[in-house]
Amino acid sequence: MAKTYKIGIIRGDGIGPEIVTEALKVLDKVGSVCDINFEYKEMLLGGAAIDATGVPFPDETKKGVDSCDAVLFGAIGGPKWDNLERRLRPESGLLALRAHMGTFANLRPAVVYDELVNASTLKPEVVKGVDIMVVRELIGGIYFGQPREYLKDHSYNTMIYTRAEVTRIAKVAFEIAMKRDKRVCSVDKANVLEVSQFWRDVVIEVAKEYPEVELSHMYVDNAAMQLIRNPKQFDVILTGNIFGDILSDAASMLSGSIGLLPSASTGEGVGLYEPIHGSAPDIAGQGIANPLATISSAAMMLKYALGEMEASSKIDHAIKQALKDGYRTGDIGAYDAKTICNCSQMGDVIVSYIK
């Protein structure tokens, strides 16, 4: 008998609706192959929610995500809503969604496909074989710290972490490392920030529970440099919210395009799965967005939220095979391309490779 999962769908703004549509195509195909049923519940967030309800995170969405097994999300934001007060901007809706869902662990893999080694701006010998997992704390730190205020002559934000927050995200990183190469690099700014020294001390304590894992520490400025200089030195990178936001975007470009990399936001309940890129309003509606990051996010959802390992592997294999056979979207089209696809065509190609 087919298993049934209820999946929340948040298309969002900009290219969000386009890329989510392609991910749903792939989910439907892999579901038919693996005898899985998906029930989709559409919800609003960000600019689309503001236009429809006046707020970026409506109560209906808040209730909706709680009733789902997982949530697949596109992207939010755009210049249309940039002049609103901060609490009403699309990005505030996303932060509120993450906090409501308790998704404290953001998993951002940075993997360089062999077929796209030449797509990176770095030399092939530097990026070939790169396979990094960035574990970013997602609902603490300076993005959520209080007090915070914008004043006429000065403004301030507060960066704060509790022992419980650092402990739980560190355990996620060490557990992931146990299934990989058993190396964790904790990134902070302990030489100038008390909160970072606290972060480092707590991570050292957690590391004692994982004697098989090699723990190292690196200041964030050095980590940014090392990601470009020698990315293969990293296995799992553990870091806080703001540092993880910046470093994971930098790591994404090792692959040649931010349109390739997915993310999973997990925690105490329902998980949120989304590409790491933004809403790209400048290309919205043109059908040229790269849907692979969103499709990969759907694969992560199958793996981490639903435990459907076979279905997840089928999607990953389909992406690799499509790239191997020379299918490219415009953002990576200059690199060993045999066929340039638009957004919808790339979705169709991935569907065709799922057997």
What confidence tens digit (pLDDT) does each residue in 50-90 have? Answer: 999 999 999 999 999 999 999 999 999 999 999 999 899 99
**pLDDT reading at 334 higher than 80:** no
Among residues 25, 189, 303, 314, the one annotated as catalytic is: 189
Spans of all domains in the chain:
1-109+258-355, 121-255
Q: Which residue has the tokens 């749903």?
A: 24
256 confidence band (pLDDT: 50, 70, 90):
confident
Fold of 1-109+258-355: Isopropylmalate Dehydrogenase (3.40.718)
Dump strand ranges (E) for the chain. Answer: 3-12, 36-43, 70-75, 105-111, 131-137, 149-150, 155-156, 183-188, 214-219, 236-239, 262-266, 271-275, 327-329, 339-341
> Which of the pair, 15 or 249, is modelled with greater confidence?
15
Mean pLDDT of the residues in the chain: 95
Superfamily of segment(s) 121-255? Isopropylmalate Dehydrogenase (3.40.718.10)
| 249: annotated active-site residue | yes
Burial class for 175, CB neighbours closer than 10 Å (0-12, 13-18, 19+): middle
- Name the catalytic one among 69, 249, 336, 348: 249
Closest CA to 257 of 120, 79, 127: 120
Catalytic residue among 35, 66, 82, 221: 221
Spatial separation of the C-alpha atoms in residues 125 and 139, rounded to whole Å = 36
Quickly state the pLDDT bin for 47 (edges 50, 70, 90).
Answer: very high
CB 136 within 8 A of CB 263: no
Task: Quickly state the pLDDT bin for 332 (edges 50, 70, 90).
Answer: confident
259-279 confidence digits (pLDDT tens): 888 999 999 889 999 998 999
Q: Is 245 a catalytic residue?
A: yes
- pLDDT over 80 at 33, yes or no: yes
The residue type of 251 is: A
Helix intervals (H) in 102-143 = 124-127
Note the pTM of the prediction, 2 decimals.
0.89
Among the options 143, 161, 304, 327, which is catalytic? 143
Rg of the chain over CA atoms, in angstroms?
Answer: 20
Looking at residue 22, what is its pLDDT? 98
Query: Residue 335: pLDDT above 80?
Result: no
Question: How many residues are given for the chain?
Answer: 355
For 136-192, the pLDDT digits (tens) are: 999 999 999 999 999 999 999 999 999 999 999 999 999 999 999 999 999 999 999
**So what's the pLDDT on residue 312?**
97
Same CATH fold assignment for domains 1-109+258-355 and 121-255: yes
94: Cβ contacts below 8 Å, ≥ 6 apart? 45, 46, 56, 57, 76
Structure token digits, residue 231: 């990315």
